[in-house]
Amino acid sequence: MSRKKAVKGKGSSKSPKASPSSGRTGKGLAAAAAPSSGLVYPSRPSISNSGEFYDIAFKVMLVGDSGVGKTCLLVRFKDGAFLAGSFISTVGIDFRNKVMSIDAVKVKLQIWDTAGQERFRSVTHAYYRDAHALLLLYDVTNKASFDNIRAWLTEIHEYAQQDVVVMLLGNKADSTHDRAVKREEGEKLAKEFGVPFMETSAKSGLNVELAFTAVAKELKHRTMKEPDEPKFQLQEYVDQEMRTAGCCRS
Ligand SMILES: Nc1nc2c(ncn2[C@@H]2O[C@H](COP(=O)(O)OP(=O)(O)OP(=O)(O)O)[C@@H](O)[C@H]2O)c(=O)[nH]1
Ligand SMILES: [Mg+2]
């Protein structure tokens, strides 16, 4: 399979009109965004010398209330670091790219970090349509952020594609003393809405890699599934991986 090259670096914009691209050329938002159909199928090898090559690309959006840890989760996944210290709320929308190797296929995730603050909601709405997957976060130490998940799911149903992959994440699982939402409550809500669920911690790294890998696997399987290949079971995969890792992987 021929491979495309992922645009490296970071983009940022408050404009909902920015249109995605294959990431083959240029830098920044306009160049890194994918066609509105979303998927990028490489048609010929890249001639560029720098950056990482990929076979398929998907857009993943991080959504949820302000302060639940969306930016920290992305930074942990991308850079392996935790943004400790004062909380700097995201303004508008921002993205980072990461290429993962999934079953010998190079999958590029273009991950959009949205602002949780209400005043940026209309900006975020404009991006839902192009998303292949949504990671919906609440903060296990903040009951209101959990209670708002129903409203977020309503919003997702209204603005996102019908077949978008949604995964519910209870973040800040490291904060055992401040916990306000039990794991079972998260599991129950996820079951009610038929979405996969896991708890994460951007601080410790718990399940961060797993969350993105699971989504990338699901998207890759949907796109490249052989006719006789069984459907990928996302929650089963997550449960199995957590069992293998003794429930605590980073
Ligand atoms: N203990 C703990 N703190 C976290 C974790 N993730 C994020 N935080 C803290 O929570 C605060 C908010 O994190 P952000 O990632 O900026 O939150 P956000 O969801 O991006 O917020 P908006 O950009 O306003 O939507 C910061 O002070 C982080 O240090 C985590 O897993 N554990
Ligand atoms: Mg943020």
For the stretch 55-109, pLDDT in tens is 999 999 999 999 999 999 999 999 999 988 889 999 989 899 999 999 999 999 9
Domain ranges of the chain: 52-246
d(CA 12, CA 2): 29
How far apart are alpha carbons 123 and 132 in whole angstroms?
A: 18
The predicted model gives 9-31 an average pLDDT of: 36
Please state the rounded mean pLDDT for residues 189-214.
97
Q: How many Å apart are CA 54 and CA 108, to the nearest integer?
A: 6
ipTM value for the complex? 0.99
Ligand 1 and 139: CB distance under 6 A: no
Q: In ligand 1, which atom is closest to the CA atom of 86?
A: 27
- Judged against a pLDDT cut of 80, whether residue 18 lies above it is answered with no
pLDDT band (50, 70, 90) for residue 39: low
216 or 16, which is more confident?
216
Specify burial of residue 92 (Cβ count, 10 A radius: 0-12, 13-18, 19+).
middle
Nearest CA to ligand 1 atom 27: 87
CA distance 115 to 191: 26
CA of 72 to the centre of ligand 1 (A): 5
Query: Could you tell me the fold of the domain covering 52-246?
Result: Rossmann fold (3.40.50)
34 vs 216, which has greater pLDDT?
Answer: 216
Mean pLDDT computed over 113-131: 94
Q: What distance in Å separates the CA atoms of residue 131 and residue 117, rounded to the nearest whole number?
A: 19
216 CB within 6 A, ligand 1: no
Residue in 74, 75, 87 to alter for ligand 1 test, most ligand atoms within 8 A of Cβ = 87
Q: Between the CA atoms of 82, 109, 114 and 155, what dihedral angle is there, to the nearest 10 degrees?
A: -130
User: What does each C-alpha distance from 15 to 125, 177, 235 come to in angstroms?
Assistant: 11, 39, 34
Find the DSSP H helices in the chain: 28-32, 70-79, 121-128, 143-147, 149-159, 183-193, 208-224, 234-244
On the 0-12 / 13-18 / 19+ scale of CB atoms within 10 A, 99 is: buried
Which pTM does this prediction carry?
Answer: 0.84
For ligand 1, whether the C-beta of 169 sits within 6 Å is no
